[in-house]
Amino acid sequence: MNGRLTPRERFGLLLIDEEPDRVVTYPLITSHAAKVLGCTVRDYCTSGNKMAKAQIAAWKKYGHDALSIFTGVGLIAEAFGSELHFADYDIPILLNPCIRNIEEIGDLKKPDPYNDCRLPVYLESIDICFETLGDILPVIVFIPSPFTTAGHLRGISEFLMDSIRHPEEAHMILKICTEACIDLIDACMKLGAHPMLVDPLASSSVISPMTFNKFAKPYLRQLTDYMHRFDLDTMLHICGETEEIIDDIPCTGTELFSFDKNDPGQTKSELGNNTRLIGNISPEEILMSDPATISNKVRSLVTQMKDTPKGFIISTGCVVPINTPEENISAFIDASHMHGKYRY
């Protein structure tokens, strides 16, 4: 570990508006951990034990500031009945959405996080991670949000069309997705994980601000309201563009916002007084570039963002690609430690 604080202590100080020893360093290492462990991504996604071992191995290698439990945004949709395709060395993708016709919405049954599909895999992984390293590391679990989940129940294009042609039905799907999200959030919280909502389909790269406001934001708000009841600082990650909806982000109720393609300086001036920011070294950069370039980019970003009034966590704009060279990630973390100091 670097610094005299553990990641958990560091993160804890940030959440109570205190300056930690250095910037929290949290690249979104999810499936890449499988490569570190030396197992297939398929195994990583389907075995809680493997996922936990991989996360722990990745942490031992890199020394970042939180563990990330995530296998893909189709997790809850799969538990409803959608079919995903698993590959040995790639993330799962949607194969067959479970709602072919809008009339089938009534057949949707809320999944049980303790028994259905791969939801128990998540829970097992959290349990092991929390038991093994939860004293020094926060365990962050990525929860696919209602809008993104709905897209994986209907098919993405179909659901976007539903939002125009069948708005009432779209809201019905979103409602049951929200309930399913809450059940999963609940189960994860009981095991000690800190939920982060992920909603890639809600980005401006995919939908308009109007659609976001009508169909994504209200349900995100329900989730954050639920978590606020437990005094949890909520985290929201939307990859892609979000500049067009930047003014709406506070209305989701989130305390921490993880952004991707936005200009960091602009995001800081728009949101930084009231929202803690997480971001945003590009995944393409970290995959393709060399350690020296990454190091410079991290230095520049940390220097620019570390004085964000409400706080800043340096991260990647989206999940670290599976085949990212290990020395690139190490360069990211080393640069952050060197240039992100607040004290000592």
Partner 1 sequence: MKTELNDIVYKDPFPARIGCTEWHNLFGNIPDEFIDHYRYYRHCGKNEWNTYLYPPTTFLIYGSRYLRKLKFDNSLASLRLWGFMMNESERLFRAKQSGMKIIANMGDLGAIPPLIFSFKDTIPFYPDCYWWTPFLNESTVLFEEAERLGIGEDCCFVRAALGAYSKLAYFPEPDLGIVATGASCNDMNSVMQSINRLDFNMHWFEIPHRRDPGIYDSDLKNNERDLHRMDYQPHLKTFVIEEMHNLISRLEEVTGQKYEPDALVGTIKKINKLRGLVYEIRDIAFSAVLCPIPALELMNLEFITLSAYSDLDEAIDIAQHLKDTVRERVKNGKGISDNDAARVIWITPPADPILLNYLEDLGGRLVGTEFVINQSLRLLDSNPDPLVSLSDGLLNASLIGTTRSRTKLILRQIEKYDAEGIIISNIFASSHCSFETTLIKEFIRENYNIPILSFDVVAPGKKIQQSQILNRMTAFIETIKEKKRS
Q: Which stretch binds partner 1 (CB under 8 A): 131-139, 142-150, 216-224, 320-328?
A: 131-139
Pairwise CA distance, residues 72 & 55, whole Å:
15
- Determine if 115 is a binding residue for partner 1 (CB under 8 A): no
Taken in order 205, 243, 217, 181, the sign of the CA dihedral is positive
* Contact residue for partner 1 among 57, 172, 232, 288 (CB under 8 A): 232
* Contact residue for partner 1 among 6, 47, 282, 293 (CB under 8 A): 6
Nearest to 311 by CA among 339, 267, 277, 283: 277
Alpha carbon 305 to chain centroid, angstroms: 20
The letter for the amino acid at 140 is I
- Determine if 10 is a binding residue for partner 1 (CB under 8 A): yes
* Contact residue for partner 1 among 110, 120, 136, 341 (CB under 8 A): 136
* Bridge partners, 236 (sequence order): 197, 257
DSSP 225-242: HHHHTTTPPPEEE--S--
- Determine if 194 is a binding residue for partner 1 (CB under 8 A): yes
- Determine if 13 is a binding residue for partner 1 (CB under 8 A): yes
- Strand, helix or coil at 136? coil
User: Nearest approach, Cβ of 6 to partner 1 (angstroms)?
Assistant: 5
Helix (H) or strand (E) holding 315: strand 312-316
User: Nearest approach, Cβ of 113 to partner 1 (angstroms)?
Assistant: 13
Residue with tokens 């949000």: 145
- Determine if 293 is a binding residue for partner 1 (CB under 8 A): no
Interface mask toward partner 1 for 151-190; x: CB under 8 A? -----------------------------------x--xx
Residues at the interface with partner 1 (CB under 8 A) = 4-6, 8-10, 12-13, 16-18, 20, 130-131, 134-136, 138, 186, 189-194, 229-232
